[in-house]
Structure 1
Amino acid sequence: MSNRLTSFTNDGFTFDVTDEGPPEGIPVVLLHGFPQTAAEWSRVTPHLHERGYRTIAPTQRGYSPGARPSGRYAYRMSALVGDAVALIAELGAGPVHLVGHDWGSAVAWSTAAAHPDRVRTLTSVSAPHPMAFIRSLVTSSQALRSSYMALFQVPWLPEFAISRVFRAVESSSRPAVRRRALALSQMDGDQFDRIQRDVVDNGALPYALNWYRAMLIASPGGGAQKISTPTTHVWSTRDSALVRKGAELTAEYATGPYRLEVLDATHWIPEERPVELAGIIAARADGTA
């Protein structure tokens, strides 16, 4: 475990990896969400390192330059889970503490369900259990908040529109334009600039949108199963994308030790509340949750 992992391969693709912290520390695998890369965890990981954990954060399918297959079928959940399992196997350290945010949380849930032997504990951030999310669509305002997902099914237009917004903000000489963009996205300036650089300008956006376009493709990702893995779900009160109902229903799909943590933050918990999130991850990992 002393060698640093900078990449791994699966399904013929090469994925970039950020491997930091004590080399012999207990591994925590961190899965990023949309539209981000492994860099979304950069404010959380130092606090996990202080607690003795080694952090391994892959830049996932569609985001890593060496792992950008064309066509939505390549982004079905079973393929995304396969990438996570391949990374865990590459570590050679047995089951890991698995953490996911947003889409990374969806992959983490499905990985824990389909491969419980690979996951020691699970911390899901923002996105609830897949079945809890589906139920929340018909029992709350979640369907309204998720309407953008339907728009993302349209070919070409979403990536064109999103790219144009980022570039308009970049080229504008009016500070008010940037302030408005940050307010609407609920991001800070560093986060906004990083997404533009690593996702929009780097050509990842069309592939990242394929995660949404593959949502209705049936695959054995295990998303409907209950899990027995010790789990903590983290939801935030000012999340504009995900309502509390899904977070509350998630308890019904965890048969092992389970805890719901609620933070005062927007959807971007890893950037806004890194100290608290690191503490929650560590508490689940060391069994004190």
Structure 2
Amino acid sequence: MKSVSAGVLEIAYTDTGPADGIPAVLLHGFPYDAHAYDEVADHLAAAGVRSIVPSLRGYGATRFLDETTMRSGEQAALGADLLALMNALGLERAILGGYDWGGRAACIVSALWPERSLGLVSCGAGYNIQNIAAAGTPVPPEEEARYWYQYYFHSERGRRALEDNRRGVCRFIWQLWSPSWAFDDATFERSAASFDNPDFVEIVIHSYRHRFGGIPGDPAYAGIEARLAAQPDIAVPAIVLLGGDDGVDPPGAADPDAPHFSGPYDRRLVAGAGHNLPQEAPEAFATAVLDLVRRT
């Protein structure tokens, strides 16, 4: 992997494909890592697209430049990290793609800085910008049950479990969220090494507590959070991919996200894929990126 100083981080990333190709910045989620895009990057390189895949804050070899920086996992921090990475690499514009935490970062930059986004691929929660003001509103009980891990992480018991048995917790989540994905031990362990990052637990816990309004965020990102509270629309061309077997965010017949997309928008169901869609269905993800490339 390469690395670059960007904002508050030294960000580790892979860079695959022709240096002069249209760039695509692809971002992983929790609890996964940059390996989620290994096959996607190969598909895109064959089509002349440059893929940049960073390790998010708290994952892999990415590190904070200053020990005193708050280890925030809030959505605004993820968006700011992505923008800082693009600036550090000299990317004026790029296709932005991701799922889970990474999809949130891609949505944020596409919404707040649309001039930097050539198009968006967002998996699972298509409009992946948190409405923290409404976080206290109950949802149907079957949906609440799928969020057990979030409530678990609100407790010190959950924090200790993640600290002491991060591989066990994360592997269980992989199995629940992708019930039809027959990943092997080697595949999991390759990604699990990223969870040994010294900031992993603190950032994960902060993320899940902050999104419910339970703890404050980093004051450095208050301005971004204020803009996100308005739930801004996404005007860039967007493709939303939904895993038909997603165990935490199963697709429904209705599309509640569509009103937030004011530009060209396509919603696609990917049969046989779960939550980690780029790794489970790399061709479908690569196809979505290439469809956006053709619009440029």
The TM-score bracket by the shorter chain reads: 0.7 to 0.9
Match of 1:164 in 2: 165
Match of 1:173 in 2: none
Matched, 1:86 2:84: yes
The 5 Å alignment of 1:142-181 reads 142-155=143-156, 157-158=158-159, 160-161=161-162, 163-164=164-165, 166=167
Partner of 1:281: 289
8 A contact 1:41–1:271 mirrored in 2: yes
| TM-superposed deviation, 1:168 | 10
SS for the counterpart of 1:255 is coil
1:34 aligns with 2:30: yes
Q: Does 1:268 align with 2:276?
A: yes
Matches within 5 A, 1:1-289: 6-68=2-64, 74-130=72-128, 138=139, 141-155=142-156, 157-158=158-159, 160-161=161-162, 163-164=164-165, 166=167, 183-184=175-176, 186=178, 188-189=183-184, 190-199=186-195, 201-203=196-198, 205-209=200-204, 210-215=206-211, 216=213, 217=216, 219=222, 220-221=224-225, 222-223=227-228, 224-245=231-252, 248-264=255-271, 265-287=273-295
- Taking every aligned residue pair, what percent have the same amino acid on both sides? 26
In the TM superposition, residue 276 of structure 1 has moved relative to its aligned partner by 1.7
* Separation of aligned partners in 1, 2:168 and 2:268: 36
Question: What displacement does 1:280 show?
Answer: 1.4
Superposed CA offset, 1:121-171 (max 9, x none): 0110123214698799737843332232121122363452575373699xx
Q: Which runs of 5+ in 2 are unaligned?
A: none
* Whole-angstrom distance in 2 between the partners of 1:247 and 1:84: 30
1:200-235 per-position Cα deviation (integer Å, ceiling 9, x unaligned): x44453144132233235642444111111111111
Q: Distance in 2 between matches of 1:167 and 1:138?
A: 28
CA separation of 1:203/1:93 partners in 2, compared to 1, >3 Å: closer, same or farther? closer
Instruction: Tell me how large the CA RMSD over aligned residues is.
Output: 3.2
When residues 132 and 233 of structure 1 are mapped into structure 2, their CA distance, relative to the original with a 3 A threshold, is farther
The unaligned stretches of length 5 or more in structure 1 are 170-177
Q: Check conservation: 1:73, 1:214, Cα contact below 8 A.
A: no
TM-score (norm 2): 0.80
Cα separation, partners in 2 of 1:147 and 1:262, compared to 1, 3 Å? same
Matches of 2:130 and 2:75, distance apart in 1: 17
Q: How many correspondences in the alignment? A: 274
